[in-house]
């Protein structure tokens, strides 16, 4: 069943939330990326991959991770914690959505400061290409206290789907889980207090 019908009928969404683990700046090593699958607030499965810090392989690695998994046919929505992983490894949101055939959204707790991001990218190799990839994600939308960019889905629908995944606080449950797991695996202890 497609997202509009699921939301209309109040059916539970199976959502993949993606976040990266902490890493040391400047090391140019691979950074852990985890994808936590949640359905109706319950944790159901985990995918992992690695992306190069400040590299350019985030989109390809996410496509491999999602499309290559047995969970792919059961997913309704992919949420990212922002548009970059492992520093400035930028995700091409429309390319990701097209390749995995799923609505994808990058979620942020604050409106992103595009001028500041553009300046940071300009200092990196292939800065113009990174910025072009970032801009392909299109305009920033807002739903409640959450900002997002989306692809493969109407913005209003994406906003409703994101909010349907919030259980406690402002962050969708699948992103909360992905954040805790990535931090816990890399540092031995997840960052938030229980």
Place of tokens 């985990």: 46
Among 2, 43, 67, 113, binds its own copies (CB under 8 A): 43
Element containing residue 142 per DSSP (H, E): strand 141-143
CA neighbours closer than 13 Å in the CB half-sphere of residue 191 = 10
Q: Per CB under 8 A, which region of 3-11, 23-31, 67-75, 94-102 contacts its own copies? A: 67-75
Contact track, its own copies, 124-163, x by CB under 8 A: ----------------------------------------
Residue 192 burial (C-beta neighbours within 10 Å; 0-12, 13-18, 19+): exposed
Cα separation, 194 vs 191, whole angstroms: 9
Number of residues located near its own copies, criterion CB under 8 A = 34
Residue 128 beta carbon to its own copies: minimum distance, rounded to whole angstroms: 33
Contact range with its own copies by CB under 8 A, out of 130-138, 142-150, 155-163, 180-188? 180-188
Instruction: State which residue, 48 or 57, has the beta carbon closest to its own copies.
Output: 48
Q: Which of 127, 150, 132, 148 is nearest to 54 (CA)?
A: 127
The residues facing 166 across adjacent strands are: 172
Position of tokens 């305009």? 139
Minimum CB–partner distance for residue 19 and its own copies (Å): 12
Residues lying near its own copies in the complex (CB under 8 A): 14, 34, 37, 39, 41-49, 65, 69-71, 74-75, 167-168, 176-177, 180-181, 183-185, 188-190, 192-194
């Amino acid at each position: 069943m497609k997202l509009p019908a699921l939301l209309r009928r109040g059916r539970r969404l199976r959502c993949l939330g993606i976040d990266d683990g902490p890493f040391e700046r400047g090391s140019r090593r691979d950074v852990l990326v985890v994808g936590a699958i949640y359905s109706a607030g319950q944790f159901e499965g985990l995918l992992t991959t690695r992306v190069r810090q400040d590299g350019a392989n985030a989109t390809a690695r996410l496509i491999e991770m999602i499309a290559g998994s047995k969970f792919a046919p059961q997913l309704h929505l992919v949420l990212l914690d922002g548009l970059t992983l492992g520093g400035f490894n930028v995700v091409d949101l429309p390319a990701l959505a097209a390749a995995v055939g799923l609505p994808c959204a990058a979620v942020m707790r604050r409106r992103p400061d595009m001028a500041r991001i553009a300046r940071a990218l300009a200092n990196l190799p292939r800065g113009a290409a990174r910025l072009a990839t970032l801009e392909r994600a299109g305009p920033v939308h807002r739903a409640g206290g959450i900002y997002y960019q989306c692809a493969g889905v109407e913005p209003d629908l994406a906003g409703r789907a994101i909010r349907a995944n919030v259980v406690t606080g402002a962050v969708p449950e699948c992103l909360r889980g992905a954040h805790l797991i990535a931090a816990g695996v890399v540092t031995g202890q997840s960052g938030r207090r229980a």
